[in-house]
Amino acid sequence: MTYWEFKGRELVNCTCEYGCNCQFNALPDKGHCHAVAAIQIDEGRHGDTSLDGLVITALFKWPGAVHEGHGEALAFIDKRANDAQREALLKIMTGQDTDPFATVFAVFASTIETMHEPVVTDIDFEVDVEERRGRLNIPGYVEMKGEPIRNKVTGKESRAQIRLPDGFEYEVAEVGSGTSRTTGGPMEIEITEKYAQLANLHLSTHGVVRS
Domain ranges of the chain: 4-208
Choose among 53, 35, 13, 41: nearest CA to 134. 13
Residue 211 makes CB contacts below 8 A (sequence gap 6+) with 171, 202
For 76-121, how does the pLDDT look when each residue is reduced to its tens digit (9 = 90+)?
Answer: 999 999 999 999 999 999 999 999 999 999 999 999 999 999 999 9
Q: Identify the DSSP state of 102.
A: -
Choose among 71, 52, 55: nearest CA to 14. 71
Confidence of residue 48 (pLDDT cuts 50, 70, 90): very high
Q: Which residues of 122-132 are buried (b: 16+ CB within 10 A; e: fewer)?
A: ebebebebeeb
- Average pLDDT of span 36-50: 98
pLDDT, position 211? 81
Beta carbons of 73 and 59 less than 8 angstroms apart: yes
